[in-house]
Amino acid sequence: MSKHLPPDLVLLLRGAADHPQDLLGGRTPLQYAELPNLRALSRRGRLRPFDAAPSGHSVHAGGDLFGAFGLHPPSDQDPPAGLIDWYGDGRDPAEGRYLHADPAHLAVTPEAAVVTDPDDLALHPEEAEELAEALNRELFEPEGARLVVLAPGCWLLHLPRDPGVRSVALESWIGADARGGLPRGAEEAAWHRLANEVQMLLAAHAVNGRRRMEGRPEVNTLWFWGAGAFPGRPETPPWRAVWGEAPHLSGLGRLTGTGLRGPVSDFQEVLREKGSAGGPVLAVADRPRAAGARGDLGAKVDALEALDQQWLGPLSTALAEGVARSAWVILGPEAPTGARPAEPSPPAPALDCRAGRLWPWNRPRPVSEEKLAGQIVGWEAFFR
């Protein structure tokens, strides 16, 4: 990419790139889905391999978003997801560490304790506060820690010191045996004992008693993850503005001083804000990644097809009409999960698209994870 022509727009479709799937006839979701606008963009774009998560952290833990905001948390430490989300709630951090202690439900059988989709809990705000109050009183506050409910499904634990363990994100372990995703490290035995104490308290709590009576899943554990330290911040905001919705997005925006515009209801709003002295605009779509974390291939294909119509269609028109000069479409990688741990992240294809006239020899080309050639591009290509 020319250093003198930064793109107007960068689109990150999280989790779009994947491995071939038997249920899709040996094709990847990108190859299986009907994506006519992505195909049209390939006529005016150069396909490049893209390093979306340079820190090595899973996209389910925010690895691609850390890279997109110019942050480089060490690969041998937990990602700073807890701290980032503390910022995202409009709070300033105190000394110590912040980690997620998210409410979860384990489906227990004689063979395994399977992590279920946390969205299925559908906790009420008053239930979350009641459970957190009991956990603080009985377990956390006597040890100098405090549990804070940011949202019914998002709880953070403030610790006075480094927890001494590595962890995995809750969304990366849906459908897998919880025992394989427990914290590991020098202090793992203490954290495993704490998890047992949490489970015993939750089992006896009145909130879960009511939920059992109503046939609703119980909150029978907390999932501890994301206790990384402050990752630093870039000297200047990396983007003029950021559109979209994804975990950690609001915290990264606040930490880096980047203007957040919120969910995209009409892509024309994004196009109107493109390109200025403030740098490119970033738009983030999280639905393909969220579907992949839950093992729902149908939902991932549906999400890709919807984005093709709602985002890539208007972008293709804007480039054809010269409304936008240039744009990148990054098809971010899926990540290994507890349910398929042997798979490495697939290559992330990215299209570097330019406005201008199309000639008959500018034919559509396959846009997929296969046969990506050329120098690998990273987020630093977009930063001033």
**Domain holding 286: CATH number?**
3.40.720.10
The last residue of a domain, from among 225, 247, 281: 225
- Helices 188-204 and 206-213: crossing angle in degrees, nearest 10, is 60
- Looking at the fold, whether 213 and 341 belong to one and the same domain comes out as no
Q: 1 pLDDT band (50/70/90 cuts)? A: very low
Nearest to 347 by CA among 326, 319, 325, 367: 367
CA 32 to chain CA centroid, Å, is: 23
- Looking at the fold, whether 254 and 344 belong to one and the same domain comes out as yes
Alpha helix ranges (H) inside 42-141:
63-68, 81-88, 125-135
Is 64:332 a contact under the CB 8 Å cutoff?
A: yes
- Using one digit for the tens of pLDDT, what is the confidence trace for 197-239? 999 999 999 999 999 999 999 999 999 999 999 999 998 999 9
Torsion of CA 242, 243, 247, 251, to 10 degrees: 40
| pLDDT > 90 fraction of the chain, expressed in percent and rounded | 86
Q: 384 pLDDT band (50/70/90 cuts)? A: low
CA 294 to chain CA centroid, Å, is: 13
b/e 173-210 (16+ beta carbons within 10 angstroms → b): bbbbbbeebbbeeeebeebeebbeebbebbeebebbee
- Looking at the fold, whether 158 and 217 belong to one and the same domain comes out as yes
- Looking at the fold, whether 32 and 109 belong to one and the same domain comes out as no
- Using one digit for the tens of pLDDT, what is the confidence trace for 3-28? 446 899 999 999 999 999 999 999 99
Lowest mean pLDDT among 133-137, 153-157, 192-196, 342-346: 342-346
- Looking at the fold, whether 333 and 250 belong to one and the same domain comes out as yes
Distance CA 119, CA 291 (A): 12
Q: Is 337 helix (H, G, I), strand (E, B) or coil?
A: strand
- Looking at the fold, whether 238 and 369 belong to one and the same domain comes out as yes
Question: 21: which 2 tokens?
Answer: 């799937």
> Is 79 among the domain residues?
no
Domain count of the fold of the chain:
2
Q: 362 pLDDT band (50/70/90 cuts)? A: confident
- Looking at the fold, whether 236 and 377 belong to one and the same domain comes out as yes
Task: Decide which of 335 and 352 is more confident.
Answer: 352
Does pTM surpass 0.75? yes
Is 170:118 a contact under the CB 8 Å cutoff?
A: yes
Q: How far apart are the first and last CA of the chain?
A: 13
**Is residue 42 predicted with pLDDT exceeding 70?**
yes
**Is residue 262 predicted with pLDDT exceeding 60?**
yes
Q: Is 374 left (phi over 0), alpha (psi -120 to 50) or beta?
A: left
Backbone angles phi, psi at 238, to 5 degrees: -75, -20
- Using one digit for the tens of pLDDT, what is the confidence trace for 58-77? 999 999 999 999 999 999 99
Q: Is 331 helix (H, G, I), strand (E, B) or coil?
A: strand
The CB density around residue 380, as the number of other CB atoms within 10 Å, is 11
The last residue of a domain, from among 225, 260, 284: 225
pLDDT of residue 3: 47
> Is 378 among the domain residues?
yes
Average pLDDT, the chain: 94
Segments forming the whole domain that contains residue 100: 85-225
**Is residue 52 predicted with pLDDT exceeding 80?**
yes
The last residue of a domain, from among 179, 201, 225: 225
> Is 4 among the domain residues?
no
- Looking at the fold, whether 92 and 219 belong to one and the same domain comes out as yes
| pLDDT > 70 fraction of the chain, expressed in percent and rounded | 97
Q: 124 pLDDT band (50/70/90 cuts)? A: very high
- Using one digit for the tens of pLDDT, what is the confidence trace for 132-185? 999 999 999 999 999 999 999 999 999 999 999 999 999 999 999 999 999 999
Nearest to 67 by CA among 286, 384, 383: 383
pLDDT of residue 82: 98
- Looking at the fold, whether 209 and 269 belong to one and the same domain comes out as no
pLDDT of residue 2: 43
Beta strands per DSSP E along the chain: 9-17, 45-51, 97-104, 106-108, 113-115, 146-151, 154-159, 221-225, 241-244, 260-262, 281-285, 326-333, 348-354, 377-378
